[in-house]
């Protein structure tokens, strides 16, 4: 059984003080044991204070992006080696990075390689545009992005993929659970081709795109979906903790287990 993950991508939101307050509220809302891996991804400037605010909890910390070089004359960029002592996870290939900052498939591949080499755990984002979806090209686009991102890389360790249809991100127009499940089944099939069936069975694949406490159950009840990468709703502590609790109840309806979960 794969351990479900709920990750919050705060994007370019919250000041440092707001970030600490938000994570403090999330921490209070999750008092007690839970068997969902929870990750929060604040802006770079808040990583250190949020890390301090998370001490004593099992909530993990992630970054929203990296550059693929270790150091050098790259003004404004953050390298993997700068992050590895601060956080475990890093989001790579988010559609906003691809759309606004020119992160091509080649750049995403380099960032994936740099993250893995540094010991960070990537959350790799893939997803199609609305016109591609309507033209029936979803599977081709998503598998193409996946193959490009992972080309030449050893992903024998932990891998998390987030399927985020671009037309559903921040629009309030979430995809349907069955549609997402079918696409994620294709993603898992592609991973099996690249790395073998065992790795594909163990890799977690999340859904992202206008996820809220009102629609999370529709996705978590699907057989192939292992959690969610949450955007706007992760900025509201009550919504975010509600999403986590609903996920836990769906995956573990009777006395949630505390062991024998994949990958941990």
Kindly report, residue by residue over 123-135, the tens digit of the pLDDT.
Answer: 999 999 988 988 9
Domains held by the chain: number: 1
User: Is residue 258 situated within a structural domain?
Assistant: no
Q: Which residues of the chain have pLDDT under 70?
A: 32-34, 255-264
The residues that are catalytic are 94, 164
Residue 132 burial (CB count, 10 A)? 17
Helix or strand or coil: residue 54? coil
What confidence tens digit (pLDDT) does each residue in 14-39 have?
999 999 999 999 999 997 656 899 99
User: Is residue 222 situated within a structural domain?
Assistant: yes
pLDDT value at residue 257 = 47
Q: Cα(174)–Cα(178) distance, rounded to whole angstroms?
A: 12
Give me the CATH number covering residue 210: 3.20.20.70
pLDDT value at residue 263 = 35
pTM over 0.95: no
User: Is residue 262 situated within a structural domain?
Assistant: no
List, in sequence order, every residue forming a beta bridge with 143; answer none if it has no partner.
Answer: none
User: Is residue 34 situated within a structural domain?
Assistant: yes
pLDDT value at residue 52 = 98
User: Is residue 264 situated within a structural domain?
Assistant: no
End-to-end CA distance of the chain: 10
Domain that holds residue 176: 5-251
User: Is residue 104 situated within a structural domain?
Assistant: yes
User: Is residue 257 situated within a structural domain?
Assistant: no
Are 19 and 46 in contact by the 8 Å Cβ rule? The answer is: yes
Query: What helix, strand, coil percent values describe the chain, rounded to 5?
Result: 45, 15, 40
**Per-residue tokens: 36:** 């969902």
User: Is residue 256 situated within a structural domain?
Assistant: no
Q: Cα(81)–Cα(88) distance, rounded to whole angstroms?
A: 12
């Amino acid at each position: 059984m794969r351990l479900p993950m709920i990750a919050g991508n705060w994007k370019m939101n919250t000041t440092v003080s707001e970030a600490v307050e938000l994570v403090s509220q999330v921490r209070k809302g999750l008092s007690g044991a839970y068997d969902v891996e929870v990750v929060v991804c604040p802006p770079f400037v808040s990583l250190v204070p949020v890390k301090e605010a998370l001490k004593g909890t099992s909530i993990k910390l992630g970054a929203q992006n990296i550059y693929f070089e270790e150091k050098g004359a790259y003004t404004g960029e953050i390298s993997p080696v700068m992050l590895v002592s601060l956080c475990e996870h890093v989001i790579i290939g988010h559609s906003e990075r691809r759309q606004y900052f020119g992160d091509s498939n080649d750049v995403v591949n380099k960032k994936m390689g740099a993250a893995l080499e540094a010991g960070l755990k990537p959350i790799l984002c893939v997803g199609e545009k609305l016109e591609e979806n309507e033209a029936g090209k979803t599977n081709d686009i998503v598998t193409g992005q996946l193959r490009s991102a992972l080309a030449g890389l050893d992903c024998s360790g932990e891998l998390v993929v987030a399927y985020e249809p671009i037309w559903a991100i921040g629009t309030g127009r979430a995809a349907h659970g069955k549609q997402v499940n079918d696409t994620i089944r294709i993603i898992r099939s592609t991973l099996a081709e690249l790395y073998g069936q065992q790795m594909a069975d163990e890799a977690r694949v999340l859904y992202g795109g206008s996820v809220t406490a009102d629609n999370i159950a529709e996705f978590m009840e699907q057989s192939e979906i292992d959690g969610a990468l949450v955007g706007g709703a992760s900025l509201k502590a009550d919504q975010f903790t509600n999403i986590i609790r609903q996920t836990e109840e769906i995956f573990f309806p009777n006395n949630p287990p505390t062991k024998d979960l994949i990958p941990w």
